[in-house]
């Protein structure tokens, strides 16, 4: 009996979440994908961000009088890929190197992956990861590091320089956003992000402003909005589990995989048509 081809997904949780929690929250999505691709062996890998958060790191946290975290056992199971520091302008992502290094380790040890699915901060990370795996991205980092405009620039991560992993075929970004300011421009410009991304956004999202999500849409190749790669749901800051939005995810993955196969087929035909000296 023929072995089913793998369809491996990297799942990146949001700020204050964890791998196991995102597994629970994305269960409906993975179940729908598994059902839609019966000829594939679906696997979803859920790493947890390297940054363990304190209660004071949680947005909206207000300590009760006389309360304190007294031991590691009392600490919350809440993690992030980086901390946003608002003391810098524009904001600085503290620990972003560590977050990207952790993801590079998963790519190296458990890949190759076909696609990445992220939520909120995880979606921002997903966009950066597909960008880093795009061809010519190191040239973009070199270009912006030598730019005449002022300000410290984020450099291409060493963990990705050493990584032998193909470009991903697709990304799904739920409540995603672009990293702010010139410091992170190399992720998004010269060239724009090449990997197809489906942006799923909540019209009532009060956590990620629409302008930040649109800033990510605008740095993706082509015209994502007119190409049907921007999907709005009538809810807030969460993964929608209603059928239309699950179907949209499946349709996008299918189109991305078919497009990838057509690309390789075209390359194969080009080779066959070459006048080779043998």
Where residue 238 sits, what CATH number does that domain have? 3.40.50.1820
What is the mean pLDDT of the segment spanning 86-95?
87
Instruction: Report the pLDDT value the prediction gives residue 274, as an integer from 0 to 100.
Output: 41
Closest C-alpha among 103, 91, 240, 89 to residue 159: 103
Q: Which of 205, 213, 233, 256 is catalytic?
A: 205
* Mean pLDDT within 236-257: 97
pLDDT at site 278: 30
Residue 263 has pLDDT above 70, yes or no: no
pLDDT above 90 covers a percentage of the chain that reads: 75
Establish if 65 belongs to a structural domain. no
Flag whether pLDDT at 187 surpasses 60.
yes
Q: Look up residue 177 and give its two tokens.
A: 């956003």
In this predicted model, which residue has the larger pLDDT, 3 or 232? 232
Q: Using CA atoms, how far apart are residues 21 and 48, in angstroms rounded to an integer?
A: 9
Q: Is the residue at 62 inside a domain?
A: no
- Please report whether residue 20 resides in a domain: yes
- The answer to whether residue 199 sits within a structural domain is yes
The 3-class secondary structure across the chain, one letter per residue, is CCCCCEEEEEEECCCCECHHHHHHHCHHHHHHHHHHCCCCEEEEECCCCCEECCHHHCCCCCCCCCCCCCCHHHCCCCEECCEEECCCCCCEEECHHHHHHHHHHHHHHHCCCCEEEEECHHHHHHHHHHHHHCCCHHHHHHHHHCCCCCCCCCCCCHHHHCCCCCCCCEEEEECCCCCCCHHHHHHCCCCCECCCEEEEEECCCCCCCHHHHHHHHCCECCCCCCCCCEEEECCCCCCCCCHHHHHHHHHHHHHHHHHHHHHHHHHHHHHHHCCCCC
Under 8 Å between Cβ of 5 and 118: no
CA 75/CA 88 separation, integer angstroms: 28
Confidence category of residue 266, pLDDT binned at 50, 70, 90: very low
Active site residue 32: no
pLDDT, tens digit (0-9, with 9 covering 90-100), for 137-175: 999 999 988 765 556 889 999 999 989 999 999 999 999
Whether 233 is a known active-site residue: answer no
Q: Chain-wide mean pLDDT for the chain?
A: 88
The pLDDT assigned to 60 comes to 62
Instruction: Assign 262 a pLDDT band (cuts: 50, 70, 90).
Output: low
Residue 67 has pLDDT above 80, yes or no: no
CA distance 176 to 216: 7
Residue 260 a catalytic site member = no
Answer whether the bond into residue 123 is a cis peptide, omega within 30°.
no
Catalytic residue among 120, 131, 175, 213: 120
In the prediction, which pLDDT does 152 show? 81
Residue 140, in any domain of the structure:
yes
* Least confident stretch, 85-94, 173-182, 242-251: 85-94
Q: Give residue 140's Cα distance to chain centre.
A: 19
What pLDDT does 145 receive?
85
Q: How far apart are CA 10 and CA 110, in angstroms?
A: 9
Least confident of 68-72, 114-118, 160-164: 68-72
Tokens of 54: 């304190």
In total, how many domains does the chain have? Answer: 1
pLDDT score, position 86: 79
Query: 61 falls in which pLDDT band (50, 70, 90)?
Result: low
**Cis amide bond preceding 161, omega within 30:** no
Does 173 reside within a domain? yes
Asked, for residue 103, whether it belongs to a domain, the answer is: yes
**Cα dihedral 83/87/91/92 (nearest 10):** -50
- Tell me the residue length of the chain: 278
CA distance 61 to 115: 34
Return the closest-CA partner of residue 9 out of 79, 109, 107, 108: 107
Query: What pLDDT, on the 0 to 100 scale, is given for residue 91?
Result: 87
β-bridge pairing 92-94 and 115-119: unpaired
Q: For residue 39, what are the domain limits?
A: 6-56+75-270
At 268, the pLDDT band (50, 70, 90 cuts) reads: very low
Pick from 6-20, 198-212, 246-260: least confident: 246-260
Residue 66 lies in a domain: no
Q: Are strands 197-202 and 230-233 parallel, antiparallel or unpaired?
A: parallel
Q: What is the pLDDT of residue 127?
A: 98
């Amino acid at each position: 009996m023929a072995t089913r081809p793998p369809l491996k997904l990297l799942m990146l949780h949001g700020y204050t979440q964890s791998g196991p929690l995102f597994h629970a929250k994305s269960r409906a999505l993975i179940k729908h994908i598994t059902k839609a691709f019966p000829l594939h062996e679906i696997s979803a890998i859920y790493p947890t961000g390297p940054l363990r958060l304190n209660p004071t790191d949680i947005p909206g946290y207000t300590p009760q009088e006389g309360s304190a975290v007294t031991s590691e056992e009392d600490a919350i199971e809440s993690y992030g890929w980086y901390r946003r520091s608002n003391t810098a302008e524009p904001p600085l992502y503290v620990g972003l190197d560590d977050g990207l290094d952790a993801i590079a380790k998963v790519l190296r040890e458990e890949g190759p992956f076909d696609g990445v699915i992220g939520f909120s901060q995880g979606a921002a990370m997903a966009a950066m990861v597909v960008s880093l795996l795009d061809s010519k991205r190191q040239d973009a980092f070199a270009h912006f590091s030598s730019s005449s405009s002022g300000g410290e620039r984020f450099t291409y991560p060493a963990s990705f320089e050493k990584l032998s992993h193909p470009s991903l075929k697709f990304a799904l970004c739920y409540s995603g956003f672009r990293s702010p300011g010139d410091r992170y421009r190399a992720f998004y410009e010269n060239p724009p992000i090449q990997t197809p991304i489906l942006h799923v956004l909540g019209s009532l999202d009060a956590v990620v402003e629409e302008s930040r999500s649109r800033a990510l849409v605008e740095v993706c190749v082509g015209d994502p909005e007119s190409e049907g790669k921007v999907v709005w749901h009538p809810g807030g800051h969460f993964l929608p589990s209603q059928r239309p939005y699950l179907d949209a995810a499946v349709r996008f993955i299918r189109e991305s995989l078919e497009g990838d196969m057509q690309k390789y087929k075209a390359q194969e035909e080009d080779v066959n048509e070459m006048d080779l000296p043998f």
